[in-house]
Amino acid sequence: ARGCQCSQGVITVPLLFRRLLDRSTGYTNDSLVAHLVETGAITQGHIEAAFRAVDRGKFLPNLEEGTSEVYDDAPVRFGHFHMSQPSLYAEAVANLDLRRGLSFLNVGSGTGYLSSIVAEIAGPGLHHGVDLYSDLLDHAQEMLHVQKKEYIQFFEVNAHDLDLVMCPRYDRMYLGACAGGQSKRLLALLQVGGIAVGPFETSSGQYIRRVLRTSETTFDVKNLKQVSFGRLLPSEEPMRRPSFVLPSPPWTPSTHAAHSKGFRSAVREVLLCTTHVNSPAHIVPRDIFVKHVFGFMHPRWFSSATEAPFRERLDGAEEQPMDDEGTYDEDSARLQVLRTLAMFARQQRDLEAQESDDAVRSRIQSLFRMLNPNLGHMAHTGPDSDEEDAEESAAERNPSTAEGRLNGGYPATG
């Protein structure tokens, strides 16, 4: 396309068209990934390989042949089939610090595109996604079946209806919609040492955040970029106790370290009891507990949701209550902006009116002075100037001068 000729004779591309060019990458998934690498959105080889292995276009249903928009670095939406900008996903994957064997929860899993990319890096393991739309979940499950990733499980449930006590904890979590206020309690599903990435509401707007859980109640937080996302929808039954429980992996010696501290302590106590002659557990062979009993115990039986308020440390600053943030309300913020603008408009109007009155008064005074300097002086309603005070003093010292002024500025005649 041709650029526009500017007045200096330099050919430039209009800003809007330039932005479209920046996002346009071609007609294939490989061209999209190449664009992400060239622009610096992807800087690590294993992330590049994961994005190349998962064709973005195949995760959108009923896509017309030759459609290139799906391979642009831009959000795509068909009804409630929605994908965020690929460069944003790339940044999220990089900040999740994925490794083989880590568990993953995708809140608002959508088409399953991001879940599939994460699975390329983390491999088989505990991997769940939750969303609200059954057709979306069916489509995602079908796509992942084609990719032989049946270990990824999707569930039709509102995230606010998850039982935070009985659901498993995850090493990594991604939020596909904005969390604020009580939605931040979903961070209870993170393991200590786990990382969550996603949009969060703060007192100054929405930000993609990287949240590292450092203890049962504290989190290190880093703001990555300011964004605008839809909010996580509230529960349809907010007064009802959340009861949906995502399945937990059974205990085995190889998964022992991934279970909660309370569960590990219970296993250790039972095994120690088998070594004491006076303990009832002593009569049961250890293999019975290891091979049959522990595997049937729910991993969260010996854990509880943290009741203490969460606290966060933003970019290394002092800790503060996490719930103090998330009070940002877009409608209230807009109303406050409108009120501020209205107040500013009133001030400007009053100022302009004041300036207008002064200008009219000045023009009238000028007219009076042209017709009669004395009338012009009498018409002045503001504070006397130093010049006028000096003229009055001179008139008192020289009556003839004053008399001349009373005669239109000409000397009086006898």
| Dist. CA 152–CA 127, nearest whole Å | 5
| Dist. CA 313–CA 292, nearest whole Å | 43
Q: Is 362 a catalytic residue?
A: no
Pairing label, strands 218-226, 311-314: parallel
| Dist. CA 166–CA 242, nearest whole Å | 10
Task: Determine contact, residues 221/312, Cβ cutoff 8 Å.
Answer: yes
Q: Which of 7, 24, 68, 84 is catalytic?
A: 84
As given in the structure block, the two tokens for residue 336 are 């406050």
Catalytic (active-site) positions: 84
